[in-house]
Copies of this chain bind each other. A is one copy, B any other.
Amino acid sequence: MTWQNASEGKDAVATIRVESRDRTLPAFRAVARVLERRILAGELPVGESLPSELSLADHFGVSRSTVREAIRVLEQRGLIRREKGRNRLRITAPQAKEISAQMKTAFLLQETTFEQLWEVLSAIEPACAATAALKATEPDLKLIEDNIRRSEAAIDDVSALVELDIEFHNLLAAATGNNALQMSRETVGELFYPAFAKVMARLNAGERLLLAHRKIYEAISSGNEREARLWMDRHIGDFQRGCDLANLDFRSPISGAMPVANHG
């Protein structure tokens, strides 16, 4: 399929025309849909760069503005990305980050509570730990070890410790080698863990957190699935208890000082 010389690209034009003239679908959506299909089908392989707006417009028989709107759609879907400094659009697979950003706004606007996020994490994190115990490689272990070492050093710096806690759990997820697992938990974790800065600050619970991390690391590095799950269960449970002890409302929405999502 040639993008450069538009003269013979009649098929696609026809497709767009048919769909858009049915008025069921605006032209920019039709274009976006066709492009998405081609990307998903591998006709436009990930890593390649998209043709220029003008050639796309020619090819589809629509105006450049229409193509641009279609591009915005695909971009937001994570199928296309423009790298800074680069001019061309690159075709990409949607990344956890973008999905995560979208889920964040969803959670914020839907008044999701800490309890709800906790329910998700208390299901996923132990499974992560267990899987990590089975699948973690040497480099994974090294990263986790390093994280624990840095946590030890930052034991009195609450905000640093929170960052490191998030990182710890992300590293576990990465060690499972399971993308789906990672994507499912990333957002929830990012929204959840910062909230417990308060808990830890009030309870001085850094040592307890570190103990759990150490135990989990040991279990994973020795391939002990059961032990990894067990300690993660406790670790997550600690959060709930800590919340109670610190007298924080577990059932309040997470709307507080949340960082504003950014547009890639």
Once bound together, how far apart are the Cα atoms of A188 and B78, in whole Å?
Answer: 18
| Contact size range, A | 35 or more
In the complex, the answer to whether B178 meets A40 with C-beta atoms within 8 Å is no
In the complex, the answer to whether A99 meets B103 with C-beta atoms within 8 Å is yes
**Cβ–Cβ < 8 Å partners of A77 in chain B:** 76, 102, 105
Residue of B nearest to A185 (CB): B184
Residue of B nearest to A180 (CB): B116
**Cβ–Cβ < 8 Å partners of A180 in chain B:** 107, 112, 116-117, 119-120, 188
**Interface positions of A from 104 to 143, Cβ below 8 Å from B:** 105-110, 112, 116-117, 119-120, 122-124, 126-128, 131
Instruction: Name A78's contact: one of B105, B112, B126 (CB within 8 Å).
Output: B105
CB distance from A76 to the nearest CB of B (A): 3
> Assuming A123-B126, A127-B119, A131-B119, is B72 touching A183 (CB within 8 A)?
no
* Residue among A78, A98, A106, A261 with most chain B CB within 10 A: A106
**Cβ–Cβ < 8 Å partners of A128 in chain B:** 123
Once bound together, how far apart are the Cα atoms of A110 and B46, in whole Å?
Answer: 10
Grouping DSSP codes into helix (H, G, I), strand (E, B) and loop, the A interface class, with mixed when no group exceeds half, is helix
Once bound together, how far apart are the Cα atoms of A260 and B112, in whole Å?
Answer: 30
**Interface positions of A from 7 to 59, Cβ below 8 Å from B:** 28-29, 32-33, 36-37, 39-40, 46
Once bound together, how far apart are the Cα atoms of A20 and B131, in whole Å?
Answer: 45
Q: Is A79 an interface residue (CB 8 A)?
A: yes
Once bound together, how far apart are the Cα atoms of A32 and B264, in whole Å?
Answer: 11
**Cβ–Cβ < 8 Å partners of A215 in chain B:** none
Q: Is A263 an interface residue (CB 8 A)?
A: yes
Q: Is A204 an interface residue (CB 8 A)?
A: no
Extra inter-chain contacts (5) besides given A36-B263, A123-B126, CB under 8 Å: A40-B109, A46-B109, A76-B77, A107-B180, A112-B179
